[in-house]
């Protein structure tokens, strides 16, 4: 029987893992199945563009995986039994179970309301396609002069505020941030950010914590009120809840705890990548939820799975950061150079060139997903049954020793 690898999720991380496995392993030895709820690949890093009224190129998953040997199943994951090695799914045909030998958990994350009252009823988000389309429709119905408040001063908030302000200069766009505007950036980065916000006419409410969302305003911790015909909630991400319902070792937030190879520390036949994984980076700091982190963990997981199945060497390339890329509308951008552990340094690229650089990165990421087996070698590596079994046994023994 072929070794069954099931990948849950076909976002950036899941699609990359599946493509790399198909590229490196012989189809006679492995069966790779990808389960995804939607039939199209979603460019999550462009959801602020979609919300602002731009049309994105459709990327059907069946076309992306055509000819790769990867089986695509359009279904919703409803549960995972990591002890019985079964995944419960539901599609138009009803409920079913998929058995696996190796599982790659790449279900990612969604928006995080932080439990703030009124967010579920009144706020909009850009963490996924459905949310972005809902916001798009609402923005299209706004009259000139109405106020849009973006809550959250991170990368998502900055990109959403500038994209909306550029696309709809007739609206009054504001940003509410817990800290200072871009306070984690270098002096050059902060200066450019303020310049762009000023040019776009975006009002900035710094050191402002939003405590409640209503239909026409947000309330702040200081007792103030900011008018808002539309509130865009961009305060971070919350991981998919399924992992927390399993016997996997997870954090309080629901991320799967993994080792340096992206393998679960409690279940050696499970790997987690992207936002779903609690992975440590340089300086023993957790990797932040981002596309940049996700792509790196996906490559690490794929390399580790191949190595363990074929008896090869585990990848030793360290996971580290080089830059933070921020689009500030279609004409402006900011590329902040960072240390390996994601701290800003003095160097930063700004302006039109930075916008072009960010666009190239986005296109490159989408291209790598849409061409998962580019450069497919003439001879893929064969799975060593002995290596595969010994890897699982070794991990199980390590888990027992740690528990003792």
**What domains lie within the chain, and their CATH numbers?**
3-110+237-320+380-399 (3.50.50.60), 113-233 (3.50.50.60)
> Is 199's pLDDT higher than 50?
yes
What's the pLDDT score for residue 27? 92
The arithmetic mean of pLDDT across residues 105-134, rounded, is 96
What's the pLDDT score for residue 312? 92
pLDDT band at 306 (very low <50, low <70, confident <90, very high): very high
Contact 263, 271 (CB under 8 A): yes
Q: How far apart are CA 340 and CA 323, in angstroms?
A: 9
pLDDT digits 0-9 by tens, 236-260:
999 999 999 999 999 999 999 999 9
What's the pLDDT score for residue 274? 95
> Is 7's pLDDT higher than 50?
yes
CA dihedral of 6, 10, 16, 19, whole degrees rounded to 10: 60
> Is 156's pLDDT higher than 70?
yes
Q: How far apart are CA 226 and CA 221, in angstroms?
A: 11
Q: Tokens 């928006």 identify what position?
A: 111
What's the pLDDT score for residue 116? 97
What's the pLDDT score for residue 366? 85
What's the pLDDT score for residue 370? 74
pLDDT digits 0-9 by tens, 63-97:
999 988 999 999 999 999 999 999 999 998 999 99
> Is 404's pLDDT higher than 50?
no
Looking at the chain, the whole-number percentage of residues with pLDDT higher than 90 is: 84
pLDDT digits 0-9 by tens, 350-402:
999 999 999 999 998 888 777 766 655 544 666 765 555 555 555 545 544 44
Looking at the chain, the whole-number percentage of residues with pLDDT higher than 70 is: 92
Which residues face 234 on adjacent strands?
Answer: none
What's the pLDDT score for residue 365? 83
pLDDT digits 0-9 by tens, 312-358:
999 888 889 999 999 999 999 999 999 999 999 999 999 999 999 99
Q: How far apart are CA 152 and CA 163, in angstroms?
A: 15
Q: How far apart are CA 61 and CA 192, in angstroms?
A: 38
* Averaged confidence pLDDT in the chain: 92
Sort 8 into a burial class: Cβ within 10 Å, 0-12 / 13-18 / 19+: buried
pLDDT digits 0-9 by tens, 179-194:
999 999 999 999 999 9
Please state the separation of Cα 122 from the chain's center in Å.
24
What's the pLDDT score for residue 374? 63
What's the pLDDT score for residue 333? 97
Higher pLDDT, 302 or 365: 302
What's the pLDDT score for residue 379? 46
């Amino acid at each position: 029987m072929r070794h069954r690898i099931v990948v849950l999720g076909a976002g950036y991380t899941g699609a990359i893992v599946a493509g790399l496995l198909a590229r490196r392993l012989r189809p006679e030895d492995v069966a790779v199945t990808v389960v995804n709820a939607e039939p199209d690949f979603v460019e999550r890093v462009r959801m602020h563009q979609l919300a602002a009224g731009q049309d994105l190129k459709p990327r059907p998953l069946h076309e992306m995986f055509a000819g790769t040997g990867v089986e695509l199943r359009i279904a919703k994951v409803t549960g995972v039994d990591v002890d019985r090695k079964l995944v419960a799914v539901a599609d138009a045909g009803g409920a079913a179970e998929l058995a696996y030998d190796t599982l790659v958990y790449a279900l990612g994350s969604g928006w995080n309301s932080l439990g703030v009252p009124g967010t579920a009823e009144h706020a909009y988000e850009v963490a996924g396609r459905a949310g972005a389309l809902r916001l798009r429709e609402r923005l299209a119905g706004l009259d000139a002069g109405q106020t849009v408040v973006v809550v959250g001063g991170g990368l998502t908030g900055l990109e959403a505020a500038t994209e909306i302000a550029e696309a709809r200069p007739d609206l009054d766009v504001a940003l509410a941030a817990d800290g200072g505007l871009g306070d984690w950036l270098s002096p050059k980065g902060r200066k450019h950010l303020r310049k762009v916000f000023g040019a776009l006419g975006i009002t900035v409410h710094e050191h402002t914590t939003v405590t409640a969302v209503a239909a026409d305003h947000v309330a702040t911790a200081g007792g103030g009120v900011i008018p808002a015909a539309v509130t865009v909630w961009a305060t971070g991400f919350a991981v998919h809840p399924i992992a927390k319902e399993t016997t996997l070792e997870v954090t309080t937030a629901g991320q799967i705890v993994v080792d340096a190879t992206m393998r679960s520390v409690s279940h050696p036949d499970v790997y987690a990548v992207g936002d779903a994984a609690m992975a440590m980076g340089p300086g023993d700091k957790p990797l932040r939820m981002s596309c940049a982190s996700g792509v790196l963990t996906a490559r690490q997981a794929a390399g580790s799975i191949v190595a363990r199945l074929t008896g090869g060497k585990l990848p030793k390339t360290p996971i580290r950061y080089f830059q933070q890329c921020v689009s500030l509308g279609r004409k402006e951008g900011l590329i902040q150079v960072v240390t390996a552990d994601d701290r800003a340094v003095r160097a930063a690229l700004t302006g039109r060139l930075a916008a072009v650089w960010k666009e190239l990165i986005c296109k490159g990421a989408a291209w790598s997903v849409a061409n998962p087996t580019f450069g497919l070698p003439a001879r893929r590596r064969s799975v060593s049954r002995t290596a595969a079994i010994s890897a699982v046994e070794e991990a199980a023994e390590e888990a027992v020793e740690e528990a003792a």
